[in-house]
Chains A and B, each alone.
Chain A
Amino acid sequence: TQLLEQSPQFLSIQEGENLTVYCNSSSVFSSLQWYRQEPGEGPVLLVTVVTGGEVKKLKRLTFQFGDARKDSSLHITAAQPGDTGLYLCAGPGGSEKLVFGKGTKLTVNP
């Protein structure tokens, strides 16, 4: 089973700060997805990265897929309280299922 490790596990920052969270694996993934889960809700897809070295931007969020397709990062610029949530990475885990990392719980304080 392919595993995804996310770091840090918890992150608490002030509004306006920048941050980066990581998703790493010893296995190669054909693609990786990032989801955000807010309290009391299910995860919501943010982006899918497919090509090694790919960079995708979603407003203040920048996603990067490693050249070797074993890792990915999410960078948030000028974080806002609305960015608070659990950030999950996920990738194909064989037999069509998706495997998830345990997530990074981000808290942005006003």
Chain B
Amino acid sequence: KAGVTQTPRYLIKTRGQQVTLSCSPISGHRSVSWYQQTPGQGLQFLFEYFSETQRNKGNFPGRFSGRQFSNSRSEMNVSTLELGDSALYLCASRPIYSGQGSPLHFGNGTRLTVT
């Protein structure tokens, strides 16, 4: 069974630009979560999607948005990039939405650098 696939692996963007990251979950997994990982803050929850609906959102500005398609693939978009958005963006999937604390299966992330 293929794991969670994130593309691209690396991105370099300039301040003010926008970026779209893509995530394909494990086959059969319908829930997709996004996390931002930085050395100072660790993993911070961005949002979670299930059945094409955003079920949960973290404390990030509106510049961060996402969506999920009918095949469970997900994209996240960051507009008006700032230097502080430089981070590893991780996507994770799990079979269903419910299940307090059900474990996540992570992709290898997209490393975004904003210059």
Q: Report which A residues bind B (CB closer than 8 A).
A: 29-31, 33, 35, 40-45, 48, 88, 90-93, 95-103
B70 near A: Cβ within 8 Å?
Answer: no
Taking CB atoms and an 8 Å cut-off, the chain B residues in 49-104 that contact chain A are: 55-56, 58, 90, 92, 97-101, 103-104
B interface, how many residues as a size bin?
20 to 34
| Contact of A100 with B107 in the complex, beta carbons under 8 Å | no
Q: Bound complex: CA of A33 vs CA of B35, how far in Å?
A: 16
Q: State the total of A-B contacts with C-beta under 8 angstroms.
A: 61
| Contact of B101 with A42 in the complex, beta carbons under 8 Å | no
| Contact of B43 with A97 in the complex, beta carbons under 8 Å | no
Q: Report which B residues bind A (CB closer than 8 A).
A: 4, 33, 35, 41-43, 45, 48, 55-56, 58, 90, 92, 97-101, 103-109
**Residues in chain B near residue A45, CB distance under 8 A:** 103-105
| Contact of A42 with B43 in the complex, beta carbons under 8 Å | no
| Contact of A99 with B4 in the complex, beta carbons under 8 Å | no
| Contact of B92 with A92 in the complex, beta carbons under 8 Å | no
